[in-house]
Chains A and B, each alone.
Chain A
């Protein structure tokens, strides 16, 4: 232990649902992945590279969910992303010439420089495999990559523990195949924790997970340190770390959060709408409809309409990000100093965010993180960045508390994923889960086509279980797509199920699903067997 007064654990949750449509030459919702790649994931790697070159040490915990890892390693999506990135480089280069001598010259140059750097990293450093980049920093001990439920499945609403077991086992297996070791931590999808599910985590060697604030505050017995130290789950000893609300509010708050600063980039004013149609047409989707293309030349400015936004100044915005990073650090120092007067060990503040907030939504969030890492490393000694495992090495003894059922969704429980707008899905999710488990029990040693069909059945089930669909139905955004995705997987599951029990498996059908819903190439349907679940529960 050094002279620091306390610790800060920064946690970023990187996730997108598995979206891949080989049946179309281009597909709108696939853009979510390409945008996040160029605005968040590669920019983060760029910061890690830069800090490492400069000798600035840092610590970060980051979930890379299995669907995201699968997309990052999918050759079709990699090719399409490459095309997306090339187009951005091409357009931004044209823009340097077009904006010469105007107030947009600087921002146009910024995009070109950034896109070129990201392209260089993507092609020449990582050879199209960004996971190799993340793995590199994990191997250096700076980044703790954690896993997530296989498809971001919402565990507390799974009645059959076989499904919970499978979500964890599939995820852990996927993680091992990519990072060559056990995942030590997990981000439970939506931080949704159900007491007892930690048994399935323990089985896969997972040592810690994260909960929303009241996951620990409402735990039994009372948590001595509030959320400023982890607790151990009874029986399993898996550690739970809870979110600190103060640091969360500082970034997320609508009123006072950093991202709303008027000098930051305006999200809604996009070149896709601003530029001459014929000029921008090649960079739009094949339907030719104007949409956001991810290049924006204006700042938030204030509460004015979009056409009154002023030109964005990248240097000014970067200075603001530095200022905000300084403010964030200052507040953590004060927070930790005060907490030290109340608790008898060095307090730990856990700050958790969606990774895509940084860069995609809050464009300067990437700069903010870079400055925050630098300031913490160079400018002070009071707080230290830490990963959960490092903390557990310093403080191996922790209070045993049963965390409460909770999630980080609106109202703190399951309302977002279970309400009148989406409750119809559970009839199908639960029935499919029961059917899957029955077939796994009935065919423990399937071979050949039957095995392929059962494995595909498992893929359809996990894809159906993505919490993203229920979430999108609730927010009302992409509702049509999320409803269709749910129904498609239900329908494919049922069709395949009927073929299997009717002993009339259509190989062409299995093949078409394998091509399209191609997540988890190595999936083994046996993870759904009751004996697999019982083997875990029998230990307690």
Chain B
């Protein structure tokens, strides 16, 4: 395309920038954590813990206590708690976690509640040592409210009819088609020179759901593989070398319907004469 750019000197800094490696930092050097809502049942927690924070905690409590302690997420239900002080939650739930994972999907015990996640050590004698506290997040209820409005009453039978008409049975389902359609649209500009795919017919969309007239099922799956290896080891997953951060690695993977995941994990030393091997397999089947 013959396009005049207003100034050729303009191009230089732009091109220079274009060539810069698009590496982004793995962290920002601050101990902190954030909790995000995903849906009525799930939240996403991610964190960063600096070495100096760990050193400080170690100096306070001693190496022995921490070695024997477990690392956990203590999930506090802080619904209607005006100011959370670490102990005044409605209740809390503990779940084991690997600090090196740096993020975690948390299954919420109850929808529609507000939560704060504390990350820390649970010592052998039951003490909790806080490393970092997240922001608070409130999950959606995921259901029809029980609260009835006196001023806007409706006959129960009529309300049930309205719900049905409003599409209560299809909540969250209609949109998947939309996403597929829009997704396809973007794909088009990416087609390779080998030509347009020949087997597509318009609107032959593959929906990742099982649907019948009156019942539907929706399930999803993600797998997290994490581990560690000696610092001099070269680790590969499925034949591809991966980068270790302080000897640790984490991999998240989404599992679509019909996916078979076979992930051989290999570790080898630099000269390749010492190896270790672990294989992880997962299968997601979809019945008819």
Contacts and interface: CB of A to CB of B under 8 A. Distances in A.
A254 B177 contact: yes
B170 A484 contact: no
Contact of B36 (A157, A228, A408, A472): A157
Interface in A200-241: 212-214, 217-222, 224-228
A249 B158 CA distance: 23
Interface string A396-439: 00011100111111111111101111010011101100000000
Contacts of B153: 224
Contact of B175 (A22, A270, A410, A516): A410
Given A218-B145, A267-B202, A405-B140, A415 B190 contact: no
A517 to B, nearest CB: 11
A228 B162 contact: yes
Contacts of A254: 177, 180, 203-205, 207
Contacts of A214: 168, 171-172
Interface in A82-102: 83
Task: Categorize the interface residue count of chain B.
Answer: 35 or more
A463 to B, nearest CB: 14
Contact of A213 (B27, B171, B186, B189): B171
A141 interface: no
Given A245-B166, A286-B1, A399 B188 contact: no
Contacts of B254: 419-421
Interface string B192-231: 1101111111111101000000000010101010000000
Contacts of A269: 196
Given A269-B196, A491-B22, A361 B185 contact: yes
B174 A248 contact: yes
Interface in B6-59: 10-11, 13-15, 17-18, 20, 22-25, 27-28, 34, 36-40, 44, 46, 48
Contacts, number: 289
B202 A260 contact: yes
B229 to A, nearest CB: 22
Nearest to B4: A79
B187 A477 contact: yes
A38 to B, nearest CB: 14
A145 interface: no
Which of B139, B153, B190 has the most A CB atoms < 10 Å from its CB?
Answer: B190
Contacts of B162: 225-226, 228, 342-343
A289 B193 contact: yes
Contacts of A342: 158, 161-162, 165
B22 A217 contact: no
A159 B185 CA distance: 31
A268 B200 contact: yes
A300 interface: yes
Given A342-B158, A410-B175, A411-B176, A428 B140 contact: no
A335 to B, nearest CB: 8
Contacts of B185: 356, 360-361
Contacts of B123: none
A423 B174 contact: no
A32 B36 contact: no
B174 A252 contact: yes
Interface of A: 22-23, 25-26, 28-29, 31-32, 76, 79-80, 83, 156-157, 159, 195, 212-214, 217-222, 224-228, 242, 244-246, 248-249, 252-254, 257, 259-260, 264, 266-270, 273, 285-286, 289-292, 300, 302-307, 335, 338-339, 342-343, 354, 356-357, 360-361, 399-401, 404-416, 418-421, 423, 426-428, 430-431, 471-472, 475-478, 484, 487-488, 490-492, 494, 508-509, 511-512, 515-516
Interface pairs A-B: 4 shortest CB-CB: A245-B167, A412-B172, A475-B183, A420-B252
